């Protein structure tokens, strides 16, 4: 079951400058940064709020590590902006299979590794009214170092 907004993914050209904008404008601090080579991103997670199911909601600021990555291609075409939304679930595998059965294209056969050791998959934006949609199951508590 999808229980929360896990994060909103925002594509940017310069991660450091964008992080500074969110800090100076809103007071949001960086909770975690990492490079995910498989996804082709350098990213910063800004925690916005805790949630009632024990998870949290974040902004995920994304800078491409290579031009031919999903975010690199998207930035070249659209410029900076909201790239995707991500819903949180306790079981990304079960939920993505149930959604696939409804005729929505799920991009990965098996979930892959996302931020902070989470398991992630994506739904094709053309099957979701133009919104690239990610499903996320957080890593079990205590298994990730920040």
Least spacing, CB of residue 41 vs Co ion, in Å = 9
Residue 136 forms beta bridges with which residues? 88, 120
Instruction: Select the residue interacting with Co ion from 4, 5, 9, 123 (CB under 5 A).
Output: 9
Helix (H, G, I), strand (E, B) or coil at 20: helix
Catalytic residue status for 134: yes
The 63-102 contact track toward ligand CMX, x by CB under 6 A, reads: -------xx-xx--x-----xx------------------
114 in contact with ligand CMX (CB under 6 A): yes
89 binds, among ligand CMX, Co ion, none (CB under 5 to 8 A by kind): none
DSSP string, 22-82: HHHHH-PPEEEEEEETTTTEEEEEEEEEE-TTS-EEEEEEEEESSTTSHHHHHHHHH-SEE
96 binds, among ligand CMX, Co ion, none (CB under 5 to 8 A by kind): none
Active site residues: 7, 43, 60, 84, 134
């Amino acid at each position: 079951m999808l229980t929360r907004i896990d994060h909103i993914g925002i594509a940017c050209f310069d991660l450091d400058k964008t992080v500074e904008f969110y800090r100076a404008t809103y007071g949001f601090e960086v909770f975690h940064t990492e490079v995910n080579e498989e996804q082709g991103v350098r990213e910063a997670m800004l925690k916005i709020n805790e949630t009632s199911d024990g998870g949290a909601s974040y902004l995920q600021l994304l800078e491409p590590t290579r031009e031919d990555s999903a975010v690199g291609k998207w930035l070249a075409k659209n410029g900076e902006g909201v790239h995707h939304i991500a819903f949180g679930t306790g079981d990304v595998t079960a939920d993505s299979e149930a959604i696939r059965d409804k005729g929505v294209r799920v991009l990965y056969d098996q979930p892959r590794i996302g931020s902070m050791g989470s398991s992630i998959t994506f739904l094709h934006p053309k099957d979701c009214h133009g919104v690239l949609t990610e499903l996320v199951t957080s890593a079990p508590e205590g298994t990730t170092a920040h």
